Structure formats: structure tokens, C-alpha cells
Amino acid sequence: MLIPVLALGGVFAAVTVFAQEPAPGRYAMQKTDSGIARLDTQTGEVSLCQEGNGEMVCRMAADERTAFELELDLLTKRVETLEKAVGEGQTALKPRLPTEEEIDQTMSIMERMMRSFMGIVKDLEREDKTPSGKTEDGPQKT
């Protein structure tokens, strides 16, 4: 009876140790001469971290900071342009009305469809008017 209890205790201890191992994190750290480089494994962003006054301060890498600022400037200009257009009553999307040629083409297609449909209706009406047991061609064959 003692052996199964010890075996069960060993399994429990192994599971507990396994559960306490840290999962891989979002950030990968690498020590550098001036501090620590931190890589965000989800976005690819690199930050340079330094300790100062008992705090760890991280800043974007210079090339990423420049790209970030350029993107921010571009978006700011786009927002300003859109706000100006809205303020002046302009809308970005004005519907384009069809040309006379496009209208004529559409009407021609619709007319052909309606004529075809009306032909089918007339055929069905003729079939309904013929006496049962006979077709328009003569007596029904069985």
C-alpha cells in the first residue's frame, strides 16, 4: 500500500514542477553594452532598455522611432485633410450617375428579359386553355 502512495506522490511532485516552468514570453531580451535590447516577438518592435533611478526605461530603437514618426505625420495630415473636407461639406464618395449609353444598354437588356418572360407566360396560358387529354398538336399519347 505504501508503494502506490509514494508513486502517486512522485507523479504529483513532477506535475507541480512541470506546471511551474515559465511559458515562453512575448519579449526576448539581449544584454548590450548600453543596456538591454528588448524584442517584441509579436510585432517585431525593438526597444532599448536602460536602468535609471531604480527603474527600467525602454525606448524604441532609433530607426523604428523615425519610421513611427513618419507614419504618425502621414496619418495626421490625412486626418486634417478629411476634417477640412467634411467641414466644407465635401464628401469623399460622390456617386457616379450612369451615362445615357449605360442606361440605354440596361433598358435594352431589361426589355429582352421582359419579352422572353411574357412569351413564357403566353405559352403557359395556351397550355391551360387546351382541353385535357389533347395538346395543340392533337390527341395526347399514352
User: What per-residue string of b and e applies to 54-92 under the rule 16 or more CB within 10 Å gives b?
Assistant: eeeeeeeeeeeeeeeeeeeeeeeeeeeeeeeeeeeeeee
Going residue by residue through the chain (142 aa), what tens digit of pLDDT does each one get?
445 444 445 544 444 444 444 457 888 888 888 888 888 888 778 888 888 888 888 887 777 777 788 889 999 999 998 888 888 776 656 678 899 999 999 999 999 999 999 999 999 998 888 766 555 555 555 4
DSSP-based three-state secondary structure for 34: coil
Evaluate if pTM is beyond 0.95: no
